[in-house]
Amino acid sequence: DTEVTQTPKHLVMGMTNKKSLKCEQHMGHRAMYWYKQKAKKPPELMFVYSYEKLSINESVPSRFSPECPNSSLLNLHLHALQPEDSALYLCASSQIQGALSATNEKLFFGSGTQLSVL
Amino acid sequence: GQQLNQSPQSMFIQEGEDVSMNCTSSSIFNTWLWYKQDPGEGPVLLIALYKAGELTSNGRLTAQFGITRKDSFLNISASIPSDVGIYFCAGLRRSQGNLIFGKGTKLSVKP
């Protein structure tokens, strides 16, 4: 099983709404990631959790708030977003983040949440 | 800054033709990953490479980790319509732990 599951698939929200994106993996991976992807561009890293602790925040605005309740789950809480935040939000996981040790490190992506902010 | 130069940016080919794309960098990478992405979906991992010179196949796909560790190539043989999509290379440096993505190659296949 190399599956990363994201919900919802599509989300439309207003600028005053609060919503959450959810991600789940059962591969025993200890690193989980949030990426943002605009159309025709590569994914851009937002956050990395390593062993349930936030290890990287790529200067993401505070209207995006990540949460890692346990090693299998990753959430992204959204509040007061702007229309320019509309994008495909991708969750990913890997065995270990980066790694001194990983000789077989792979990053697996979910199918994404297509977010539209009106 | 960290950059991967992926080329070509787009390709229009006839069904049955072979395809080649590559990524180059001025820096060394420990791992190269190749992904395919369909519209509205997440990238799907095609091939992972871990050693300089490594050549790995996955069906009609073959990828190589360059000897200098600064480049990687992906070849698709006998293309079919379902090969259509955007292909991304991604390089990983263990010291940094984050993937650097190329800008993607958009592949179009005419039946």
Supply the pLDDT for residue B101: 94
Please give the average per-residue pLDDT across B70-94, as a whole number: 95
Top residue of B23, B99, B107, B108 to mutate, by most chain A CBs within 10 Å, is B99
Residue A100 has pLDDT above 50, yes or no: no
For B78, left (φ over 0), alpha (ψ -120 to 50), or beta?
A: left
Top residue of A4, A109, A114 to mutate, by most chain B CBs within 10 Å, is A109
Supply the pLDDT for residue B105: 98
Please give the average per-residue pLDDT across B57-76, as a whole number: 97
Give long-range contacts, CB 8 A cutoff, 24+ apart: A99-107. A99/B94, A99/B97, A100/B94, A102/B31, A102/B94, A103/B50, A104/B48, A104/B50, A105/B31, A105/B92, A106/B33, A106/B45, A106/B48, A107/A33, A107/B33, A107/B45, A107/B90, A107/B99
pLDDT digits (tens, 9 = 90+) for A20-62: 999 999 999 999 999 999 999 999 999 999 999 999 999 999 9
| Beta strand B105-110 pairing with B10-14 | parallel
